[in-house]
Chain A
Amino acid sequence: MKNELPKWADYGLIPLINLAIAFTVSGLVVLFVGENPIEAAKLLLRGSLGYGEGIGFTLFHATNFIFTGLAVAVAFHCGLFNIGGEGQAYIGGLGVAIICLSLDTVAPWWITFPLAIAASALFGAAWALIPAWLQAKRGSHVVITTIMFNFIAASVMVYLLTGMLRPQDSMAPQTRTFEVGGQIPKLDFMMDWFGLDIGGAPLNLSFLVALVAAFLVWVLIWRTKFGYELRTMGTSPTAAVYAGIPPVKTVVITMLISGALAGMMALNPVMGEQARVELDFVAGAGFVGIAVALMGRSHPVGIVIAGILFGMLYQGGAELAFDMPNISRDMIIVIQGLVILFAGALEHMFRPALINFFEILSINSKSSSKEAA
């Protein structure tokens, strides 16, 4: 088939090539600042996967990216580019805060947690509602509106964290620390089964919630009627009109689901790590989600893998910055940026060449089989 790659190449080879290029260029950068790239790579791997606590941190970061990656992917299947995950997650944190601040002293975590899940999803979805509505009804591009809503979310949260949500006697722009009822258990017991000690790593129950969410997203997209409508809309809008699929409803619901997934990201840092809502706790995870979704080819399995990879970069990168004096924290961001650039933005760079390569390959194999016959 023309302009098509075998599935394994599409889902496996292309991300691998992109990653290899990203790391090669990163290696050159490391070389440039006077460090040994091989050593740096070793440090990065050891830091992220080499010991229990490293793995704990890697999976903790991955949890954020899986949520935001799924958010981007769901919208993407409907032909929508939701880049407002950052803001939706931030507002999702507000939902978590409201539940935890009001219930943490009276209820155990297993009551607050489900409520907080619902609240984070609800708040994240609500934050996606206006851009969704504007897109569906007015054709205002969702890329523009969601990114604007990121700024609004940031301002709203600063206002709340310096005002209403800040305890009277505190100088810090954050909520009070939640009591035990507002904290979710760590997964140290689970890691213990593998003989790993996560130490101080904040890996918590929301990692499992993220995995469940990934499964549910798969079910939603490929096994439900709504998922069918959503995919039809995203793949062929004219066919969707022909099939009588209501465009406004489909766009709005898709964006609500996307916003809800982004909102749920807040559970991990807010209830699982800091036990309070801090200023800018999302810290760019909403944007990393875009790269994760692109790299994971909008498939939940790919997103989980890409999420873990980015978790490794975050955790391993921190260790690297610590161990190699010439490689600063900013350097790590450069490397992450390169991965995002190659895996995300330049995702299709090698596709045409690869398609040609496979075409030549198939022609050669055909002609050689003819010769053989």
Chain B
Amino acid sequence: MSEYAIELKGINKSFGPVRANHDINLPITQGTIHGIIGENGAGKSTLMSILYGFYQADSGDIFVNGNKMTISDSQAAIAAGIGMVHQHFMLVENFTVLENIILGAEGGNILNKAIGQARKELLKLEEDYGLTVDPDAIIEDLPVGIQQRVEILKALYRGAEILILDEPTGVLTPSEADHLFNILRQLKDQGKTIVLITHKLREIMAITDNVSVMRQGTMVATRKTSETSVADLAELMVGRRVLMQVDKGDANPTDVKLAVENLTVKDSRGVIMVDDVSFEVRAGEIVGIAGVAGNGQSELLEAIAGIVPAETGRVLLDGEPINVTGGADPALLREKGMVHVPEDRHHMGLVLPFEEYENSILGYHNQEQYLSGAFLNIDAIRADAKEKIEQYDIRPPNPRLKTANFSGGNQQKIVLAREMEQDPVVLLIGQPTRGVDVGAIEFIHKRIIEMRDAGKAVLLVSVELDEIRSLSDRVLVMFAGKVVGERSPETSEGELGLLMAGVEGQAAE
């Protein structure tokens, strides 16, 4: 038997112009728990999808137990002994545990035999690994922790020797997570190999033997967990990028324009995403919210912008409370001077099949200058769009072009032009330079600073730490839905990185 359960050599995968995986090499030793860590969008999930046969690598080789394999679909992965537990469970909610376990392995048209056999197998698996589950329970009646256990059982039932878990603790309570770790240790003791994908450093330290760090599609390091530290990993993850030079004078903050008080936001599953957050943004300052993606920043921004209703708390815009808990009307907030550059410009900030000029009024299509009665004043809208195209150097300068046909940077400029030219009181910006080319980044940063200097209150959310540091006047760090600290932008990346990873104690020194 080979030393490595899995070995990936030179894996490349691109989606259009985006290189999701760039020349990845990854050896995973037999019988170990191997962590793969990186920020969202670093390429972890793509890599695992290649291993599980969802995607085909553009180039590179996969070795399983020393044998070169082509994994064309999940059937082939299962046959090779690879099992996967997805972040979002692939269970039929109104089936029983047993029915779910035999799903895809029914072995004939009559189910009785398979169910009987599965029941026996399941008992054996329970004995071997201490994975107790009631085989006749209906999935939707089970708590998520147990549902996940069913997913693990499903993989084991199919004879998985290598188990991949994608962000397994994302949906679990801390005690459920501890339980999961016990199970994983037990599986390891039985000789299984486990790959754990996560962006939580603590989990890596708690359970893995080895850890690989991914950043922007590349594998930056593979270490023995015992020989590394949280600080070390945080730095590898975030990267020591050259601080971008942004010409910026001192901030001149005056009145509080945006006040957030004890805001709590739950997502559709009822998980608390923003937990009792309070802060203020003054006119003439940029407050940056740093954090690893998925720690509640997106939900915070959307709640303030009136897109998702908050559970509890208050938000004051220019001293006046807005109805955050009842779902404030985004149109009304715009009228009151709060503009929003959303994180997801493809689904929210723009309607991609529309022509450029049509997107230049999205959200402002009620304004008089764009209308004549109930009709759109097409001439005025196009003239206005042309003006913004010139001002923001949007290319190609054609308001009749379909928005989907602009590059990422130019699409973002379309949104920025629309929002910034409203002369707002408060400017909310999410991920201003995500997927934006370098030239446009500089321009966008300059415009944000100009907005600040013009006396606007700017709230900036970004997962790019260097962007937060170079633009913000104050930095708030979010972790697990809470604001865990406020720092000045001059604070070292290491310290901010630790805060972002939720290692409060060490960082406080």
Contacts and interface: CB of A to CB of B under 8 A. Distances in A.
A241 B330 contact: yes
B16 A2 contact: yes
A224 B351 contact: no
A242 interface: yes
Contacts of B375: 219, 223-225
B365 A225 contact: yes
A171 B366 CA distance: 57
B48 interface: no
B347 A238 contact: yes
A239 B376 contact: no
A236 B351 CA distance: 6
A297 to B, nearest CB: 13
B363 interface: yes
A319 interface: no
Contacts of A225: 365-366, 371, 374-376
Given A236-B352, A243-B363, A226 B374 contact: yes
A229 interface: yes
A244 interface: yes
A177 B366 CA distance: 49
Interface in B268-320: 305-307
Interface residues of A, number: 21
A1 interface: yes
A243 to B, nearest CB: 4
A218 interface: no
B308 to A, nearest CB: 9
Contacts of A238: 344, 347-348
A193 B242 CA distance: 78
A239 B404 CA distance: 14
A273 B380 CA distance: 46
A219 B374 CA distance: 11
A82 interface: no
B117 to A, nearest CB: 40
B350 interface: yes
A244 B376 CA distance: 17
Contacts of B332: 244
B76 interface: no
A241 B302 CA distance: 11
Interface string B323-366: 00000011111100000101010011111111000100111011
Nearest to B371: A225
B340 A242 contact: yes
A305 B378 CA distance: 27
A244 B331 CA distance: 4
A1 B16 CA distance: 11
Contacts of A219: 375
B254 interface: no
A220 to B, nearest CB: 9
Contact of B307 (A1, A226, A241): A241
A229 B330 contact: no
A23 interface: no
A239 B349 contact: yes
A242 B352 CA distance: 14
A120 B206 CA distance: 71
Interface in A137-159: none
Interface string B23-46: 000000000000000000000000
B405 interface: yes
Given A1-B404, A1-B405, A242 B354 contact: no
A242 B342 contact: yes
B380 to A, nearest CB: 13
Contact of A242 (B307, B378, B404): B307
A1 B404 CA distance: 9
B329 A244 contact: yes
B362 A239 contact: yes
A235 B402 CA distance: 13
B509 to A, nearest CB: 42
Interface string B395-423: 00000000011000000000000000000
Given A243-B330, A243-B331, A244-B334, A228 B349 contact: no
A231 B352 CA distance: 12
A232 interface: yes
Contacts of A242: 305, 307, 330, 340, 342, 348-349, 362-363
A232 B349 CA distance: 11
B309 to A, nearest CB: 11
Contacts of B329: 244
Given A232-B351, A235-B354, A244 B374 contact: no
A320 to B, nearest CB: 41
A243 B354 contact: no
Interface string B144-181: 00000000000000000000000000000000000000
Given A235-B353, A242-B340, A223 B376 contact: yes
A223 B334 CA distance: 23
A281 B72 CA distance: 56
Interface string B406-443: 00000000000000000000000000000000000000
Kindly list the 5 A-B residue pairs having the minimum CB-CB distance in the complex, ordered from nearest: A244-B331, A244-B330, A243-B363, A242-B348, A238-B347
Given A228-B376, A232-B354, A242-B349, 11 more contacts: A2-B16, A225-B375, A225-B376, A227-B376, A228-B361, A238-B347, A243-B330, A243-B331, A243-B363, A244-B334, A245-B331
Interface of B: 16, 305-307, 329-334, 340, 342, 344, 347-354, 358, 361-363, 365-366, 371, 374-376, 378, 404-405
16 contacts: A2-B16, A225-B366, A225-B375, A228-B365, A231-B351, A231-B354, A238-B344, A239-B348, A239-B349, A239-B350, A241-B330, A243-B330, A243-B331, A244-B329, A244-B331, A244-B333
